[in-house]
Amino acid sequence: MYFRDRIEAGQVLARHLESYKTRSDVLVLGLPRGGVPVAYEVARELNAPLDVFIVRKLGVPGHEELGMGAIATGGIRIVHEGIIRELRISPQTVDLVTANERNELERRERLYRGDRPAPFVEGSHCYRRR
C-alpha cells in the first residue's frame, strides 16, 4: 500500500487503531524524524499523548552503515553477536561506539524533548504494525 505522504499514512494507521481512542493508557511514540509526522496523526486521531523514541545505530568502525547493534531511550542496548563475532570486534570497541552514540542520543533527547522526562513505558503493551 502506498500513501501520498506521512500525514495520510498516519491517518490510515489511526483508523486501524480506532479501538484505542480516548483510552487513558495510550501513548503514541514516534521515531524522529520521519516517524513523528505519522505518530502525530495517530496521536491526534486517538486523542492520545505523543512523545519521541530515540534510537541510534551502533555502526561497525570503518563501515558505519553496517549495524552491529543499536541503543535507544531508556538505556536499551541490543547488539548483533553474529556480526561482532564474525568481524572480531572487541568488547572495548563496542563499548566505545556505544559511548559515542549515547552522547548523540542524549543530545537528541534534549533537542526533541527539552527538559521533559522520557515517558515511563516499562511493562506496557505495544501495538506493532507487522
Class at the top of the CATH hierarchy for domain 55-113:
alpha beta
In this structure, what DSSP letter does residue 68 have? E
At residue 111, the pLDDT reads: 92
Q: pTM of the predicted model, to two decimals?
A: 0.77
Tell me what pLDDT residue 88 has.
97
User: In order along the chain (130 residues), what is the average pLDDT of each group of 10 residues?
Assistant: 92 95 90 92 95 94 96 92 97 97 94 86 59
CB 1 within 8 A of CB 11: no
pLDDT score of 55: 94
Q: What is the pLDDT of residue 85?
A: 97
Query: What pLDDT does residue 102 have?
Result: 96
Q: Is residue 31 helix, strand or coil? A: coil
Domain boundaries, the chain: 6-52, 55-113
Helices then strands, counting H and E runs in the chain, come out as 4, 5
Cell numbers representing residue 91 in the block: 568488547
3-state secondary structure of 11: helix
